[in-house]
Amino acid sequence: MSSDSKSKSVVPAHVAIIMDGNGRWARQRGLPRIKGHEKGSESVRAIVKACRNAGVKYLTLYAFSVENWIRPKTEINALMRLLDRFLRNEEHELHENRVRLRVIGRREDLPSRLDEKLREVEARTRQYEDGNLILALSYGGRTELVKACRTIAQRVKDGELSPDEIDEDTVSANLYAPDIPDPDLLIRTSGELRVSNFLLWQISYAEFYVTDVLWPDFREPEFKEALADFSKRRRRFGDVK
Ligand code: IPE
Ligand code: IPE
Ligand code: MG
């Protein structure tokens, strides 16, 4: 490694995070799980700010999976309420810092009032380019790919596309947010070594970083550690250099 690449810190353009461990954080303190989610939403605020400070342009947060609907109704309701509160309290931060909000996932599953509010904030922050906060809500990587397949199949059926014209770009173009570059760094908190159906297509060459720190304890110093680790990685993309 040249001294130049040693000293130069490489900042990922896109960081995706599987925010895990809220329940365990609460259990360790003898608190109900929802207290862990509440504390976890403070980490969301801290990490959005940390991205800004570090110059990370895209942040995708796995906030609710398609599988999470099997959780107890009380927990689901509490999570939806927290999201609503987050929008209310944090929208001004998005404007102040010119951050665009986006949602990916089966948004038709969300309570319609919440989806409306999300749409409003998305519309009001549409013009911003300094940063992008992408919330994965009722999101599943397989669901996203099935949706893409259906759209592509319909185009073939309609005679707009022939099967041999379908390539990787065709699939990418039919994902929820086709204009967003693939994540460079994928972080998972709370030590689980699995992907849990997150961004299956997009993470093909993402660098993984797993920490035992639970999401409610994951703040700017822990995020900076992940960035420092990323900066030491040598991404080869299949090459031999
Ligand atoms: C992550 O924390 C938040 C969501 C999945 C919504 P968990 O709720 O999964 O916390 P653990 O994994 O039970 O500790
Ligand atoms: C993944 O966490 C989903 C989110 C962080 C929203 P889970 O806690 O649902 O994942 P598993 O069940 O441990 O794989
Ligand atoms: Mg979990």
Ligand 3 center from residue 162 Cα (angstroms): 42
Q: Is residue 7 part of a domain?
A: no
Give the model confidence (pLDDT) of 107-159 as tens digits. 999 999 999 999 999 999 999 999 999 999 999 999 999 999 999 999 999 99
215 lines ligand 2 (CB under 6 A): no
The confidence score (pLDDT) of residue 241 equals 79
Give the domain extent around 86. 12-140+183-231
Q: Is residue 27 part of a domain?
A: yes
Q: Is residue 174 part of a domain?
A: no
The atom of ligand 2 lying closest to the CA of 23 is: 8
Ligand 3 center from residue 45 Cα (angstroms): 19
Q: Is residue 104 part of a domain?
A: yes
Q: Is residue 67 part of a domain?
A: yes
20 lines ligand 2 (CB under 6 A): yes
CA distance to 10, 33, 57, 85, per residue, from 14 (Å): 12, 29, 6, 25
Task: Tell me how far apart the alpha carbons of residues 116 and 30 are, in angstroms, rounded to a whole number.
Answer: 36
The atom of ligand 2 lying closest to the CA of 18 is: 5
Q: How confident is the model at residue 9 (pLDDT cuts 50, 70, 90)?
A: confident
Give the tokens for residue 215.
């999401």
The pLDDT of 191-200, averaged and rounded, is 98
Q: Is residue 1 part of a domain?
A: no
> How many domains, the chain?
1
Give the tokens for residue 84.
């609503």
Q: Is residue 178 part of a domain?
A: no
Domain of 30, CATH number, reads 3.40.1180.10
20 lines ligand 1 (CB under 6 A): yes
Q: Is residue 204 part of a domain?
A: yes
Q: Is 21 left (phi over 0), alpha (psi -120 to 50) or beta?
A: left
Give the model confidence (pLDDT) of 49-85 as tens digits. 999 999 999 999 999 999 999 999 999 999 999 999 9
In the set 22, 68, 164, 174, the catalytic residue is 68
68 lines ligand 2 (CB under 6 A): yes
